[in-house]
Amino acid sequence: MNMVLLESVTKHYGDKLLLDKVSLGINYGQKMALIASNGAGKTTLLNLIAGKEVPEEGSIRHHPERTLGYLQQEPAFNESLNILQVLFDDEENPVTRAISRYEQALKEKEGTSALEEAIAEMDRQNAWAYEARMKGVLGKLGLNDYRAKINQLSGGQKKRLALARVLLKEPDFLILDEPTNHLDLEMIEWLEEYLIKQNVTLLLVTHDRYFLDRVCDSIIELEAARLQMFKGSYSYYLEKKAELESNRERETEKAKSLVKKELEWIRRMPKARGTKNKARIDSFYALQDKAAVRTGSGGPEFEINAARLGNKIIEIKNLSKAYGNKVLIQGFNYVFKRYEKVGIAGPNGSGKTTFLKLLTGEETPDTGTIKKGATVKIGHFRQENPQEFYGKRAIDIVKEKAEVIELKNGRSLGVSQFMELFEFDANRQYTYYESLSGGEKRRLHLVRVLMSNPNFLILDEPTNDLDLITLQTLEQFLLDFNGSVVVVSHDRYFMDKIVDHLFVFKGGGEIMDFPGNYSQFRNYDKEKKKQIKKEPKAKKQEKAREKKKLGYMEQREFEQLGKDIEVLEARQKELADLLQSGENDFEKIMQWSDELKTIEQTLAEKEDRWLKLSEYAG
């Protein structure tokens, strides 16, 4: 059964052809990834499938009963609302519609039929448990302040809220545009497991290669305005792509050999041309086009002659930084070594970006010192796109840093040549910044930083919004880079491939120097947690008692809480039974409903306090 069917769809962006008579069927239960270079039309294709845009030619048909959830790159919210209001006021979510209808029916005083229908709809949608599901998803995505206004949230928090809203809708067909952006590594792993378990049709765009390989069973490649389907994981796609490139190379070499022979014939040929000669000439031009095919299999080779690094790089002594009561870094010491590549991992808000800004001097430490060597030349890639680039052409933005970059063999690359390595062809180089796609803007910022020829690179989430081709180019650059690198990234594949060791931000100012890549750290962390779980329960309780014992008043409070909770739970059950009893007296229903809400809130508070005290109870 097709969830969506595209037939001969054509779409332009200005003069650029993005889709050329493409056809695609997405079946129920398929989990597909869309792969393409930045600016090739990935987001346009998602918008077409989601019904946000219409094709110039062709048709798009949807299954009539499907429900759609679409996570866009730039979510829009009513800035005056808070997080809870955004989730409960979602008219596209059938569960929140049922809740709104139920609450409205409770307020009506004309009869009970509307209320009965509303309760039946609540049952069908399993809406009674929505609040628990909602808080569970928000907690996994680090959105624990439910009353926070939208205008107080960061861009990353808004993207995570948009993801929560889409997931809570529980649609049949889920479209996700870069869902892993602005998630920390633990959040990505949670989302990965969530999508694997869900019986949902999925279409996503992501640069996270581990995520692609684990979640998706099909890959769609958008290249030169055409779509090609690979039925298998990302690993399978890579194998098949390599085979295709190899075959294409052989065909290209064969065509080049034939072109040489045909060129000799063309030059010798007399001017009087018969029908047979004309056919051979046409064949020659077809061969010439085939011989000119760019396979792209070789990949860029980087031999950049980075500025020389002396023996002294950067020395950190007793570094501390806090904002109010929140301690991000406490007493950290480290001496950077030449050519090392350090990854930084930790949850959002743990201090990773602050640490980078301390290294660059944009932030000042509360205590401690950061001393840089005389030869250190820092290149800093930030998360945000600079506003001062608007109104400038891409090539001019890069030229502001340098006109050429020196190679180790004594040669040099000009700006245009270097930009081509990062997929900026001659046309895109002269495009104004504001006309570039989101991924192209990030890529341009990266090229500008690298063009300045630093010997100490500081990269803050460099993989966000980059296509896989650019990621591979960046990885090769960093592997060949003759300097030191400090990188924050949520891309596990990228981190595993690039870094020598990790600074793990564990919270409360603690930073652990782990001797390995991210996957090795996760294996270590999981084993450590298993050992803790194996610790006998009696031993844990003994440790808790040794740590702290309840005072007389706290012990009395603990005992009373147990009694209060029993009474509240009994009344909660009684009220729930009354609401399901079929009572027709509207006033009673309103009274019971209000009392139940109050009891649930009180019960939650008392249970939370009881759990805290139980850790130390005798």
Q: Does 365 fall in a domain? A: yes
Instruction: List the domain range (segments joined by +) for residue 413.
Output: 314-529
Provide the pLDDT for residue 259.
Answer: 61
Is residue 150 within 8 Å of residue 80, measured between CB atoms?
yes
Provide the pLDDT for residue 264.
Answer: 66
Look at residues 172, 205, 237 and tell me which one is the last residue of a structural domain.
Answer: 237
Residues with Cβ within 8 Å of 580's Cβ and at least 6 positions away in sequence, in order, are none
Helix axes 185-197, 155-168, angle to 10 degrees: 20
The answer on 471 and 411 residing in a single domain is: yes
* pLDDT band, very low/low/confident/very high, at 104 (cuts 50, 70, 90): confident
The answer on 256 and 278 residing in a single domain is: yes
Q: Which of 25-34, 129-138, 186-195, 453-462 has the weakest average pLDDT?
A: 129-138
Residue 404 has pLDDT above 50, yes or no: yes
Q: Does 176 fall in a domain? A: yes
Helix, strand, coil shares of the chain, percent, nearest 5, are 50, 20, 30
Distance CA 583, CA 475 (A): 67
| Residue 203 DSSP class | E
The answer on 127 and 65 residing in a single domain is: yes
For residues 424 and 607, the model is more confident at 424
Token output for 66? 């499907």
Is residue 213 within 8 Å of residue 33, measured between CB atoms?
no
Tally of domains in the chain: 4
Q: Residue 161 is part of a domain; what is its CATH number?
A: 3.40.50.300
Indicate whether this model's pTM tops 0.85. no
Q: Does 491 fall in a domain? A: yes
Q: Which of 128-137, 172-181, 376-385, 576-585 has the weakest average pLDDT?
A: 576-585
| Residue 556 DSSP class | H
Residue 516 has pLDDT above 60, yes or no: yes
The answer on 254 and 232 residing in a single domain is: no
Provide the pLDDT for residue 301.
Answer: 55
Exposed, middle or buried: residue 601 (CB in 10 Å: 0-12, 13-18, 19+)? exposed
Q: Does 35 fall in a domain? A: yes
* pLDDT band, very low/low/confident/very high, at 472 (cuts 50, 70, 90): confident
Provide the pLDDT for residue 292.
Answer: 55
Is residue 433 within 8 Å of residue 391, measured between CB atoms?
yes
The answer on 256 and 232 residing in a single domain is: no
Starting at the earlier edge strand, list the strands of the sheet with 2-13. 16-27, 2-13, 57-62
Provide the pLDDT for residue 289.
Answer: 60
For residues 141 and 595, the model is more confident at 141
Instruction: Kindly report, residue by residue over 267-297, the tens digit of the pLDDT.
Output: 665 554 455 565 655 665 565 565 655 544 4
Instruction: Kindly report, residue by residue over 320-354, the tens digit of the pLDDT.
Output: 999 988 999 999 999 999 889 999 999 888 899 99
Residue 163 has pLDDT above 90, yes or no: yes
Provide the pLDDT for residue 297.
Answer: 44
Dihedral sign for Cα 39, 40, 42, 44, please.
positive
The answer on 158 and 279 residing in a single domain is: no
Q: Among residues 461, 498, 410, which one has the least CA distance to residue 183?
A: 461
Token output for 32? 């597909």
Q: Does 17 fall in a domain? A: yes
The answer on 503 and 561 residing in a single domain is: no
Q: Which of 150-159, 405-414, 515-524, 540-549 has the weakest average pLDDT?
A: 540-549
Provide the pLDDT for residue 282.
Answer: 61
Q: Does 308 fall in a domain? A: no
Is residue 534 within 8 Å of residue 527, measured between CB atoms?
no
% of the chain with per-residue pLDDT over 90? 36
Q: What are the contacts of 247-252 at 24+ separation with CB within 8 A?
A: 248/293, 248/295, 249/295, 249/297, 251/290, 251/293, 252/290, 252/291, 252/293, 252/295
Q: Output the CA–CA distances (angstroms, integers) from residue 456 to 359, 462, 549, in the order listed.
A: 11, 15, 51
The answer on 601 and 475 residing in a single domain is: no
* pLDDT band, very low/low/confident/very high, at 543 (cuts 50, 70, 90): low
Provide the pLDDT for residue 296.
Answer: 47
Look at residues 529, 554, 585 and tell me which one is the last residue of a structural domain.
Answer: 529
Token output for 443? 């890529």
Distance CA 313, CA 306 (A): 14
Q: Does 560 fall in a domain? A: yes
The answer on 262 and 193 residing in a single domain is: no
Q: What are the contacts of 111-119 at 24+ separation with CB within 8 A?
A: 111/586, 112/584, 112/586, 112/589, 115/586, 115/589
Q: What is the mean pLDDT of the chain?
A: 84
The answer on 269 and 197 residing in a single domain is: no
Look at residues 529, 552, 574 and tell me which one is the last residue of a structural domain.
Answer: 529
For residues 26 and 606, the model is more confident at 26
Residue 38 has pLDDT above 50, yes or no: yes
Q: Does 430 fall in a domain? A: yes
% of the chain with per-residue pLDDT over 70? 86
The answer on 522 and 433 residing in a single domain is: yes
Instruction: Kindly report, residue by residue over 195-251, the tens digit of the pLDDT.
Output: 999 999 999 999 888 999 999 999 999 999 999 999 998 888 888 888 887 787 777
